[in-house]
Amino acid sequence: MAANVYLISGGTGAGKSTYSKKLAAEIGGVHFAIDDWMATLFWVDSPDPIEFSWTMERIGRCESQIWAQVLALTDRGVPAILDLGFTKAAHREKFAVLAAKASLKVSLHLVDVPSDIRWERVQNRNLEKGDTYALDVTRDMFDFMEGEWEAPSEREMSQLNGIKV
């Protein structure tokens, strides 16, 4: 049985959104990207400089709405691909628990790319403002997120039917 919910994880610039869109097209699922939700709903009103607590509160609101949509979709047999960053193990666990409570099968997909390549990709994305662009990511933002990153352990990968891509 295929997963109902796919958790896409990886560092900034790893290619999570590109991979998520491709996966959604391949399996007939719906892609949810937190960057798109935040850019559309909140970035225009964000404080300057961006405040971490302000951002996290709004991400929480978006994730609640996204999860409501996930439940509606999976109830109709449509898989959901969650491109929510999943930087921390606790964040991945939160969604795994939500899925388990709804009797949904989860698969964690880790997009694993070295830091120097990811930074180069981020710089290119900032310039090109292409398909996966949501906002400019500065070096300070990139470095901050690098410090926040918790790669999934082998145990977590096993528990969440994980694969490296």
Query: Which domains does the chain carry?
Result: 5-164 (3.40.50.300)
pLDDT of residue 47: 65
pLDDT of residue 133: 79
Is residue 106 very low, low, confident or very high in pLDDT (cuts 50, 70, 90)? very high
Residue 77: strand, helix, or coil: coil
pTM for this prediction: 0.86
Report how far apart, in Å, the C-alpha atoms of 44 and of each of 36, 84, 130 are.
12, 20, 19
Q: Are 160 and 107 in contact (CB under 8 A)?
A: yes
N- to C-terminal Cα separation, the chain: 20
pLDDT, one tens digit per residue, over 127-142 is 999 888 777 888 998 8
Rounded-to-integer distance, Cα 127 and Cα 155, Å = 38
Is residue 72 very low, low, confident or very high in pLDDT (cuts 50, 70, 90)? very high
